[in-house]
Protein backbone atom coordinates (compact mmCIF):
# COMPACT_ATOMS: atom_id res chain seq x y z
CA UNK A 1 0.00 0.00 0.00
CA UNK A 2 1.35 3.43 -0.86
CA UNK A 3 0.04 6.90 -0.17
CA UNK A 4 0.77 10.35 -1.60
CA UNK A 5 4.36 10.31 -0.30
CA UNK A 6 5.76 7.73 -2.72
CA UNK A 7 7.07 10.39 -5.13
CA UNK A 8 8.63 12.69 -2.53
CA UNK A 9 12.38 13.25 -2.20
CA UNK A 10 12.58 13.74 1.57
CA UNK A 11 14.02 10.66 3.34
CA UNK A 12 11.57 11.21 6.23
CA UNK A 13 8.54 11.34 3.96
CA UNK A 14 9.68 8.33 1.97
CA UNK A 15 9.93 6.32 5.19
CA UNK A 16 6.16 6.80 5.57
CA UNK A 17 5.18 6.11 1.96
CA UNK A 18 3.98 2.59 2.76
CA UNK A 19 2.10 3.41 5.96
CA UNK A 20 -1.63 2.65 5.96
CA UNK A 21 -2.11 6.30 6.97
CA UNK A 22 -3.19 8.34 3.95
CA UNK A 23 -0.37 10.87 4.23
CA UNK A 24 -0.14 13.99 2.10
CA UNK A 25 2.95 16.18 1.85
CA UNK A 26 2.44 19.65 3.30
CA UNK A 27 1.00 21.83 0.57
CA UNK A 28 -2.03 23.16 -1.23
CA UNK A 29 -3.54 19.73 -1.96
CA UNK A 30 -3.73 18.81 1.73
CA UNK A 31 -5.04 22.25 2.69
CA UNK A 32 -7.77 22.18 0.04
CA UNK A 33 -8.79 18.63 0.95
CA UNK A 34 -9.11 19.63 4.62
CA UNK A 35 -11.19 22.64 3.69
CA UNK A 36 -13.49 20.72 1.34
CA UNK A 37 -14.01 17.82 3.76
CA UNK A 38 -14.20 20.03 6.85
CA UNK A 39 -11.55 18.00 8.67
CA UNK A 40 -8.60 19.14 10.78
CA UNK A 41 -5.06 18.39 9.63
CA UNK A 42 -3.01 15.85 11.56
CA UNK A 43 0.59 16.97 11.09
CA UNK A 44 3.59 14.78 11.81
CA UNK A 45 6.98 16.49 11.90
CA UNK A 46 10.23 14.58 12.18
CA UNK A 47 13.45 13.62 10.47
CA UNK A 48 14.76 10.35 9.12
CA UNK A 49 17.35 9.69 11.85
CA UNK A 50 15.04 10.47 14.80
CA UNK A 51 14.75 7.42 17.07
CA UNK A 52 11.42 8.44 18.59
CA UNK A 53 9.99 9.20 15.15
CA UNK A 54 10.69 5.57 14.21
CA UNK A 55 9.11 4.34 17.44
CA UNK A 56 5.96 6.39 16.82
CA UNK A 57 5.81 5.24 13.20
CA UNK A 58 6.04 1.60 14.25
CA UNK A 59 3.65 1.82 17.20
CA UNK A 60 1.10 4.15 15.61
CA UNK A 61 1.40 4.92 11.90
CA UNK A 62 1.96 1.28 10.87
CA UNK A 63 -1.02 0.10 12.95
CA UNK A 64 -4.13 -0.50 10.81
CA UNK A 65 -6.53 0.49 13.62
CA UNK A 66 -4.74 3.77 14.33
CA UNK A 67 -4.52 4.50 10.60
CA UNK A 68 -8.26 3.91 10.17
CA UNK A 69 -9.04 6.47 12.89
CA UNK A 70 -6.61 9.03 11.46
CA UNK A 71 -7.88 8.50 7.91
CA UNK A 72 -11.52 8.84 8.97
CA UNK A 73 -11.23 11.96 11.11
CA UNK A 74 -8.22 13.88 9.74
CA UNK A 75 -6.36 14.92 6.63
CA UNK A 76 -2.89 13.58 7.36
Instruction: Note the pLDDT tens digit of each residue in 17-44.
Output: 999 999 999 999 999 999 999 999 999 9
Whether the Cβ atoms of residue 19 and residue 56 lie closer than 8 Å to each other: no
Q: What pLDDT is stored for residue 61 in this prediction?
A: 96
This prediction has a pTM of 0.88
- Residue % of the chain over a pLDDT of 90: 96
Whether the Cβ atoms of residue 74 and residue 40 lie closer than 8 Å to each other: yes
- Residue % of the chain over a pLDDT of 70: 99
User: In this predicted model, what pLDDT tens digit does every residue of 47-76 receive, in sequence order?
Assistant: 999 999 999 999 999 999 999 999 999 999
Examine the pLDDT at 12 and tell me if it is beyond 70.
yes
State the Cα angle at 4 between 63 and 55, rounded to 5°.
Answer: 35
Amino acid sequence: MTNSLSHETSPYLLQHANNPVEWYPWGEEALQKAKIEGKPIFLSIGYSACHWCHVMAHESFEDEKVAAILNKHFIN
